[in-house]
Amino acid sequence: MSDLSEKETNPPATEAAPPCPTVTQRDQWMVESQVFQIYHLFATIPPNAQTLMMELQRENHMQFLSKGLRHLSSAFSVLDSNRPWLCYWIFHSIALLGESVEDELEDNTIEFLSRCQDPDGGYAGGPGQMPHIATTYAAVNTLITLGSQKSLASINRDKLHGFLRRMKQSNGGFRMHDDGEIDIRACYTAISVASILNILDDELIQNVGDYILSCQTYEGGIGGEPGSEAHGGYTFCGLAAMILIGEANRLDLPRLIDWVVFRQGKECGFQGRTNKLVDGCYSFWQGGAVALLQRLYSIVDKQMEETSQIFTISTVSEDKESLDGTSSHATRHGTIESGSTDIKSIAYKFINEWRAQEPLFHSIALQQYILLCAQEQEGGLRDKPGKRRDHYHTCYCLSGLSLCQYSLSKHPDSPPLPKVVLGPYSNLLEPIHPLFNVVLERYREAHEFFTESHDH
Ligand SMILES: CC(C)=CCC/C(C)=C/CC/C(C)=C/COP(=O)(O)OP(=O)(O)O
Ligand SMILES: [Zn+2]
């Protein structure tokens, strides 16, 4: 063989071998290629076919959800422990679509959830099981979504308050259930339920802010417990709970904004954490965190001002230190006022708060991911192309879509301009209260019910 052919077939030993991709890289390339194939196909079809592809398949989604409800009432065993969650995901999705179900089905659901209600307060995953804060949140949100007087009156708020007090820990966290884990989901679900039922008090909120603050990581997002990695689901929980207790100003919000906005990827959807895959459900968890941050601009501005002051002070003091050997400290949070409003009215006032008109993320791109990649044309929504539809993803993709559609509206429920809604205007969903993820109108009815005539 000549020198030349040897070189061609056998690379010299010194040449670096091609890097072997990690599993994460391979998965990422796979998702990117599937998503971009869809976008490419979309770009090459005629405009009328594009409109069809971007249409929210309301009827098919309703069929998928109704089938889920039928399944819910028939095919479950006594060991199932997530039926209140299925109720919430399905009824909330139906409410987002502006639809309702027959009275009998509503009555059966109220009756079923009443059987899940523990005599000592809180809701279990099924009748006779142990009460759990997360299923309590799911049950309460379902009953508020159903919305009738009977539904709202079925919640034993005194006992529920007792259950939440029992779950409360001295470090500010909550347990999920007796002897259960303490984490940020428990904080959010406890505080959310207490707030929406108007039973939030000083005892319940004591030290909660300290606990949540200890979960904000170096990245800026919030982890499930102190020392854990920042994640979109926990970030939404931590931020929403901090707002509900009037202590959002204690978080490092500029850093939180930085972290969350960079979780929207080139696939147009959000990932849950750094270097992980895009997933439709984060349209709500991350998109929801952004929707909350959009209403915290006055605090963000103050924090940014403070940071620049600290920078100036520390620069000056460093100079001074180097001159005369002394040092000074400026605390970041000390000068920011803590929430002065009555905690019972925070959630109600929050929806009317002024909000930044410039969205912090690409709302049209996210709608594109939800409609083209997460939506199944036959009904139901999913994590990503190639995954199966399910009720959890249907609920959180639709919730995220609603947030996008109203992301520029001055008032929370004023109809958005057509250019803000991707696809036909008939895609428009009902607006939600972003702190609780229940349809706004149902939230308002519940608020009235639990503040006026039926005070705790
Ligand atoms: C109100 C309530 C109960 C909120 C729950 C919030 C929530 C969705 C938390 C996420 C939990 C988590 C770490 C998932 C990671 O799963 P993964 O590793 O499969 O997904 P990933 O790769 O996207 O991180
Ligand atoms: Zn998901």
The pLDDT, as a whole number, for residue 15 is: 66
Residue 326, pLDDT > 70, answer no
Dist CA 272 CA 232 (whole Å): 5
Please give the mean pLDDT across all residues of the chain: 89
Residue ranges of E strands in 173-301:
none
Nearest CA to ligand 1 atom 21: 272
Counting from 1 in the atom list of ligand 1, the atom nearest the Cα of 281 is: 8
Q: What pLDDT shows up at residue 340?
A: 54
Q: What is the mean pLDDT of residues 188-213?
A: 98
Residue ranges of domains in the chain, CATH in brackets: 61-69+80-310+342-453 (1.50.10.20)
Highest mean pLDDT out of 76-90, 94-108, 399-413: 94-108
Sign of CA dihedral 392, 116, 136, 155: positive
The pLDDT of 401-416, averaged and rounded, is 89
Q: Tell me if 147 CB under 6 Å of ligand 1.
A: no
Q: Is the pLDDT of residue 38 over 50?
A: yes
pLDDT band at 10 (very low <50, low <70, confident <90, very high): low
Select which of 175, 393, 442, 447 is catalytic: 393
Q: Where are the extended beta strands (E) located within 46-156? A: none
Residue nearest to atom 9 of ligand 1 (CA): 233
CA distance 253 to 248: 8
What pLDDT, on the 0 to 100 scale, is given for residue 98? 98
Substitution site in 141, 185, 263, 397 for ligand 1 pocket (most atoms within 8 Å of beta carbon): 185
Interhelix angle 184-196/232-244, rounded to 10 degrees, is 40
* pLDDT over threshold 70, residue 331: no
Kindly state the tokens that stand for 434.
């972003």
CA distance 370 to 382: 9
Q: Is the CB of 233 under 6 A from ligand 1?
A: yes
Q: Which of 92, 157, 231, 263 is catalytic?
A: 231
- Among 134-148, 258-272, 345-359, 397-411, the range scoring the smallest mean pLDDT is 345-359
The residue contributing the CA closest to ligand 1 atom 24 is 272
Query: Scanning the structure block, which residue is given the tokens 């998928």?
Result: 64
* Ligand 1 contacts CB of residue 225 (under 6 A): no
Distance between CA 227 and CA 224 in Å, rounded?
A: 8
pTM score of the predicted model: 0.90
Q: Is residue 215 within 8 Å of residue 222, measured between CB atoms?
A: yes
pLDDT band for position 316 (cuts 50, 70, 90)? very low
Residue 397 Cα, ligand 2 centroid: separation in angstroms? 9
Average pLDDT rounded to a whole number, residues 102-120: 96
Question: Is the CB of residue 109 below 6 angstroms from any atom belonging to ligand 1?
Answer: no
Q: At what angle do helices 133-146 and 184-196 cross, to 10 degrees?
A: 30
**Of residues 324 and 430, more confidently modeled:** 430
Residue 430 near ligand 1, beta carbon < 6 Å = no
User: Is-catalytic flag, 231?
Assistant: yes
279 is catalytic: yes
Residue closest via CA to ligand 1's atom 13 equals: 231
Given a cut of 70, whether residue 91 has pLDDT beyond it is: yes
Three-state SS at 415: coil
* Beta strand 432-433 pairing with 438-439: antiparallel
The structure tokens 């989901």 sit at 185
**pLDDT over threshold 70, residue 324:** no
pLDDT mean over 274-290: 97
Per DSSP (E only), the strands in 115-189 are: none
* Complex ipTM tops 0.95: yes
Please give the pLDDT value at position 450.
Answer: 97
Among all bound ligands, the one having the nearest atom to the CA of 279 is: 2
Secondary structure of residue 183 in the 3-state scheme: coil
